[in-house]
Structure 1
Amino acid sequence: MATLAAPPPATEATPHTPTHWTEDRLTEADLAHIPGDGGWPVVGNTFKMLADPHAFNTAMVEQYGPVYKNRAFGGWAVMLVGADANELVLFDREKLFSSEQGWGPILDQLFPRGLMLMDFDHHRADRRALSIAFKPEPMRHYAGSLNRGIAETVKRWAGPMKFYPAIKALTLDLAADSFIGIPWGPEADKINAAFVDMVQASVAPVRSPLPFTMMKRGVDGRKFLVDYFTAETERRRKEGGGQDMFSQFATATREDGSLLPVDEVVDHMNFLMMAAHDTITSSATTLIWLLAKHPEWQEKLRQEAIAVTGGPDAQGNPRPLDYDDLGKMELTEMAFKEALRIVPPVPSTPRRALRSFEFGGYTIPAGAGVSINTHFVHHSPEHWDDPEKFDPMRFTREAEKARHKYAWVPFGGGAHMCLGLHFADMQVKILMAQLLQRYRIEIAEGYTPDWQAWPIPKPKDGLNVEFKAL
């Protein structure tokens, strides 16, 4: 069994302190009773996984079953595959799993102390404090900002274009406006560039910030943002801020009335900006591609947008989608959910076992890195008829009730369910209402982009589409 002393169980008083990720990983001997493959010497299966993680996982499940061990990125981990595994890890009834110690080796140099890198009481307290930014009144403010920003940009999108870089630029600008409350321009561009560098560094093969490496650019980007957000947090606390998300975070308080420490506000802002703009960019791109492939669904969503908003105004411009009308965009929501099923923006989720546990006939030892695979379950015939088919009707209320609760988990689940999921839903609905009332979305016959699967899925060619004015 494990030669490692088990980490202490998480308690109400467990502090948030970084773990020495590389000093206490389990060895192959600790996991000898679990089937799997260590891959090549030194690098393990790292490059196989990066080349095609979905094919790699499928092959491993076919060979070893839904519980298998794998060596990559410098250490061993145990993969738990299936909807039951998703429920075990995400719902985490017994507080067996550390999100901080799961994501830490990947993100701690770049996004330490983000909400996803917190566990148990500390996570719960900060999540409660930050949730103020997603209450109805701030969300109404964001809806107005999104309507204006999206309308202003989308009206210039007529003709052929690469959609991914266009929506990424728009989403970053929207984040600068809605999240930080600064106008689009040079300052926003510097912030956006720093975020791009940090996200790319999160899966850099070289994990040290050596000169000229992706990790060095990412670490430099983090330093720039820490300096910027620290000064801004202090300024907004003194002078007051607006209704943007950052101002809400800067003045958020815990249950005892105390403000969050400045450095924690900064880290939360860094993390949520990254999580919001990159995942929304990915999922919006997937939805555009699928609607272009399925014009019959594109037309259904167009007619829904016209019915809900009242159609274009006298000048032919789409009317804003009111915050109170978001719930009426039912078909759009179903299509978005199906896009998230087909290409989930976070394909897999790591954790670390704080205590040993049983699953699938195996004892997983304390200290083991564990990971679930959202993409695999989203494409499993066990839960989805003809899983490669685009069919938003899978997400009627009746169909959702009949399915395993953890067969669809693009936003995670349990205590770590994505805090910004309703913001993502709102942004995509407003985007669809503006786009579909202006354009017909087309792609070349037979065209299917090649997707980069990690760290967050995106089409390698940028997604070639054409927006034809209606």
Structure 2
Amino acid sequence: MATLAQSAPRFTHWSQKLPADALAHIPGETGIPVFGTTLALVSDPIGYGKRMHATYGNVFRSRPFGVNQVTLIGPDANELLLFDRDKLFSSEQGWGPALDQLFPRGLMLIDFEAHRVDRRALSIAFKPEPMRHYSDALNRGIANGVSGWGGKPMLFYPAIKQLTLDLAADSFLGIPWGPESARVNQAFVDLVNASIGIVRKPWPGTAMGRGVAGRKFLVELFTAETLKRRETGGGQDMFSQFANATREDGSLLDVSQVVDHMIFLMLAAHDTITSAASSLLYYLLKNPDWQDKLRAEAMAVTNGTGNVAYDDMTRMELTEMAFKEALRLIPPVPGLPRRALREFTFNGYRIPAGTQVGISPQITHKMPEHWPDPLRFDPLRFTPEEVAKRHKYAWVPFGGGAHMCVGLHFAYMQIKILLAQVLTRYELVLEEGYDPPWAPWPIPKPKDGLRMMFRPLAD
């Protein structure tokens, strides 16, 4: 457990450095000159994390991307950082080294009172009335999108990535994409890749250069859309809700804030949902008995139509459990960083103020003391009885505390509708002997696109 020293925070920006020897008392590695542990982490992040945990235990230091940091492993560590009852950790300064040039004012990169005010304003977009509107749009868009998937081998990842982008245009923006669709998609790809670019300057030809250029394009696009929605009042789409959201004093959010929040939430709806859907279908391909169970549930809930009514979402209990198990095995965000604003102690180690601190869902989600036979796909781990037996913070794919993913219910809804629309039409077929390799970083995805076939049930 943790204790902390009661002193005023003196670190106000992530670029403020700790003394070189400040973490010398913590076990770990500094890596090679210049690159630190960056190359080892980027080349095999899962293997690297497992090796560090096995070698040094639940507290270890490393030096990725030129930043000395401490990783804390386990549910207690997750609760400490995410619940943060003492306002000890800064999410803004934690994500800063990776994201400050890409998502400088997204909801994940603001802290404490400023975060509370903006989150409260934005939460209007996830109230029942707009969510009911999104469910109608998702049913319509997914049914149309998956109708052409049947009867031929295909790559699932690029297909679902395009579909989620189209769905975001409908539910989030309330407009169909025009010729800018490919450029929007590429901008998000470049933003994600830039987050782990080894060169941190936006020089031409670098990942960071492409990421910053992608952000510039999205800012221009979404600024124009924000102004348009404020002029017309907009509709039920999420962007209109954000554009016209007000703070507690009745004032509108700044246009730049709306734009930054929208870019960040579009990333979540586009890239993390794509990752989550891919991992879930991968495990259903590998476990056809669970595919059959979810199909039976979808048939019963939708009367065979595939259209999930908003009021029936809670009836898709097995689908939700399967989704949670896929998120356990392949969390879309493998690591969550923070920065300690004051000194604290965890597991007997003194962690000084100013330390970059991270937790690792991808390691904690497979700790055998919390997850017996941890590599096995078993959605029944998420029955109410099993959940009650576990530490509340043993499963954290959506984060937790004040920074719990604001769109998590939208994610559940989109996945339930996707599975219902797919499984009432198709059998998911995996090529014999095929097991696709996964790129685990920065957002997990099947390296070769996930080859599969959607065989129409009538066949």
Q: Distance in 2 between matches of 1:202 and 1:171?
A: 21
Q: Distance in 2 between matches of 1:39 and 1:187?
A: 42
Q: Distance in 2 between matches of 1:261 and 1:82?
A: 39
**Residue 26 (1) aligns with residue 18 (2):** yes
1:329 to 316, 320, 344: 316
What is aligned with 2:197?
Answer: 204
What is aligned with 1:152?
Answer: 144
What is aligned with 2:59?
Answer: 67
1:299 to 281, 292, 296: 292
The one-letter code of the counterpart of 1:432 is L
Structure 2 counterpart SS, 1:41: coil
Structure 2 counterpart SS, 1:370: strand
Q: Distance in 2 between matches of 1:258 and 1:375?
A: 40
Alignment of 1:87-106 (within 5 A): 87-106=79-98
1:274 to 267, 284, 295: 267
What is aligned with 2:228?
Answer: 235
The one-letter code of the counterpart of 1:178 is S
Q: Residues 407 and 435 of structure 1: is their aligned pair in 2 closer, same or farther, counting only changes over 3 Å?
A: same
Cα offsets for 1:154-202 (capped at 9, x unmatched): 0101121111111011001111111111113313333233222212211
- Displacement of 1:58 in angstroms is 1.3
**Residue 263 (1) aligns with residue 256 (2):** yes
What is aligned with 1:397?
Answer: 384
- Displacement of 1:374 in angstroms is 0.4
- Displacement of 1:447 in angstroms is 2.2
Q: Distance in 1 between matches of 2:218 and 2:110?
A: 20
1:193 to 181, 186, 191: 186
Q: Distance in 2 between matches of 1:82 and 1:429?
A: 29
**Residue 253 (1) aligns with residue 272 (2):** no
2:374 to 361, 377, 387: 387
Cα offsets for 1:304-361 (capped at 9, x unmatched): 00100011xxxxxx34111111000000000000000000000110000000001010
**Residue 408 (1) aligns with residue 395 (2):** yes
- Is the contact made by 1:450 and 1:460 (CA closer than 8 Å) also made in structure 2? yes
Q: Unmatched 5+ residue regions in structure 1? A: 1-5, 11-17, 312-317
What is aligned with 1:133?
Answer: 125
- Is the contact made by 1:7 and 1:367 (CA closer than 8 Å) also made in structure 2? no
TM-score by length of 1: 0.94
1:463 to 441, 450, 458: 450
Structure 1 counterpart SS, 2:68: strand
What is aligned with 2:278?
Answer: 285
Cα offsets for 1:59-92 (capped at 9, x unmatched): 1112111111101101100010111100101110
1:181 to 163, 174, 178: 174
Cα offsets for 1:179-238 (capped at 9, x unmatched): 111113313333233222212211111111111222111111111111121122112111
The one-letter code of the counterpart of 2:380 is M
Give the superposed CA RMSD.
Answer: 1.5
Q: Distance in 2 between matches of 1:244 and 1:330?
A: 27
Q: Distance in 1 between matches of 2:199 and 2:9?
A: 32
What is aligned with 1:315?
Answer: none
- Displacement of 1:7 in angstroms is 9.3
The one-letter code of the counterpart of 1:138 is P
Cα offsets for 1:266-300 (capped at 9, x unmatched): 11011111122111000100000100111110000
Q: Distance in 2 between matches of 1:215 and 1:19?
A: 24
Cα offsets for 1:102-148 (capped at 9, x unmatched): 00111110111100001000000100000000001111111111111
- Displacement of 1:19 in angstroms is 5.7
- Is the contact made by 2:94 and 2:337 (CA closer than 8 Å) also made in structure 1? yes
- Is the contact made by 2:306 and 2:422 (CA closer than 8 Å) also made in structure 1? no
Q: Distance in 2 between matches of 1:434 and 1:327?
A: 16
Cα offsets for 1:33-70 (capped at 9, x unmatched): 11111111110110110111111111111211111110
Identity across aligned pairs (percent)? Answer: 65
Structure 2 counterpart SS, 1:31: coil
- Displacement of 1:445 in angstroms is 2.6
- Is the contact made by 1:176 and 1:188 (CA closer than 8 Å) also made in structure 2? no
- Is the contact made by 1:381 and 1:387 (CA closer than 8 Å) also made in structure 2? yes
**Residue 372 (1) aligns with residue 359 (2):** yes
- Is the contact made by 2:202 and 2:209 (CA closer than 8 Å) also made in structure 1? yes
- Is the contact made by 2:96 and 2:109 (CA closer than 8 Å) also made in structure 1? yes
Q: Distance in 1 between matches of 2:37 and 2:415?
A: 36
Structure 1 counterpart SS, 2:116: helix
What is aligned with 2:415?
Answer: 428
- Is the contact made by 1:348 and 1:371 (CA closer than 8 Å) also made in structure 2? yes
Q: Distance in 2 between matches of 1:50 and 1:450?
A: 16
- Displacement of 1:20 in angstroms is 4.9
**Residue 164 (1) aligns with residue 157 (2):** yes
- Is the contact made by 1:7 and 1:354 (CA closer than 8 Å) also made in structure 2? no
Structure 1 counterpart SS, 2:376: coil
What is aligned with 1:419?
Answer: 406
How many residues of Structure 1 are paired with residues of Structure 2 in the alignment? 451
Structure 1 counterpart SS, 2:71: strand
